[in-house]
Amino acid sequence: MADPSQIISAGHFTTEDLDKKGPNWDEEVRMYTTSSIAPVFIVHALHTARLLGAGSKVVLVSSEAGSISLRHEKEGGGNYAHHASKAALNMAGKLLSLDLKDQGVIVSIVHPGFMRTEMTKGVGFDQYWDDGGAVTPDEAAASLVAWIDGLDLAKTGQYWAPRGPRDIGTAEPVLGQNLPTPLRLPW
């Protein structure tokens, strides 16, 4: 019997730049494996075990960091594997949605919000929590549950910010003013 909703949320974040710290091979591989490779294997296992069927919802927790279009000079470069592994997850989600759509399985890729977590604190992003509109995991989870309840096949394979643009620093410079909530994100 198919389980109606599967939320796949995993991440690892190590900061990197070109000048001081530089990229680290092992950390890059860990970020890609955790963020974009493992979810494909999880969905494959659920699919082959026949745990996904018509009406099932697979929600891949990504990040606005995975949007190439939202990258802006305002935030600069760096953190290559974090951004690129989330972009890879977005592509994997789109491809999975194409493979599963005929079976009635919905695949949604979401940015749950800028999070107040040990992971963002560990990379120094806690300094941006207040100005950046960071939310607790409980707040993000409540928004995610409401999002999942309203999901249908019309939104499969799309990339969304259920909480809207309020915690996406580059949303207005890139996408304009008066953006809706929820907000469909550009790849």
- Domains (range + CATH), the chain: 5-184 (3.40.50.720)
CB atoms within 10 A of CB 72: 12
Contacts for 75 with CB less than 8 Å, ≥ 6 apart: 169, 170
* pTM across the whole model: 0.92
- The pLDDT tens digits for 109-119 are 999 988 878 88
User: Which pLDDT score is estimated for 109?
Assistant: 99
Has residue 63 got a pLDDT over 90?
A: yes
User: Which pLDDT score is estimated for 147?
Assistant: 95
For residue 82, how many C-alpha atoms fall within 13 Å in the half-sphere facing its CB?
A: 17
Q: What is the mean pLDDT of residues 125-138?
A: 81
Lowest mean pLDDT among 46-60, 72-86, 108-122: 108-122
Has residue 68 got a pLDDT over 80?
A: yes
Lowest mean pLDDT among 37-41, 109-113, 158-162: 109-113
